[in-house]
Structure 1
């Protein structure tokens, strides 16, 4: 499993996931690679509990809260949105590199 380039405070991540009803929390992108730098954001792939839908405003709140936890700007995408993404290169890149830190698949 690739090691993130920043500390991931698992107790806070677990509480965050429970609060937002997230069943899977994975990192992908530069946070798992050597090109992660001081200005890099943290890319996160999440799956919500069945029946949970969040608005754009809630997504902004979720990203803001997560940014405080990880100490960097966080960008969150849902597994469902990536699986439906017509850009197969992006879809394959994210799904093949995502490393799970919370939950079950």
Structure 2
């Protein structure tokens, strides 16, 4: 998974299971994968919003995505990200 299109396709395939198991309401890609400066050593930056709190299962969600995509993931929650950081990334988020 080295380009935005393949990352988005993979997440689209995983989304129904993530909605069911982890109450994912939305998931978006940001960072180097969107800016086209993605390198082989880059992780995939994802922001997720939930339909209900999932608590410690957030870690399980990150592990699930990493295992299925066979890539390092940096997962942040929409509710957990500081407003000043969200402001920096909000215009580049590509939602699945």
Which category of TM-score, normalised to the shorter sequence, fits these structures?
A: 0.7 to 0.9
1:5 and 1:16 map into 2 onto residues whose CA distance is 19
User: 1:25 touches 1:44 (CA, 8 Å); kept in 2?
Assistant: yes
Task: Indicate whether 1:4 and 2:4 are aligned.
Answer: yes
Gaps of 5+ in 1: none
**Greater Cα radius of gyration, structure 1 or 2:** 1
Normalising to structure 2: TM-score of the pair? 0.80
User: 1:13 touches 1:69 (CA, 8 Å); kept in 2?
Assistant: no
Correspondence 1:33-72 to 2 at 5 A? 33-50=35-52, 52-55=53-56, 58-72=57-71
User: 1:27 touches 1:99 (CA, 8 Å); kept in 2?
Assistant: yes
Aligned pairs, number: 92
1:74 and 1:26 map into 2 onto residues whose CA distance is 12
User: 1:70: how far off?
Assistant: 1.9
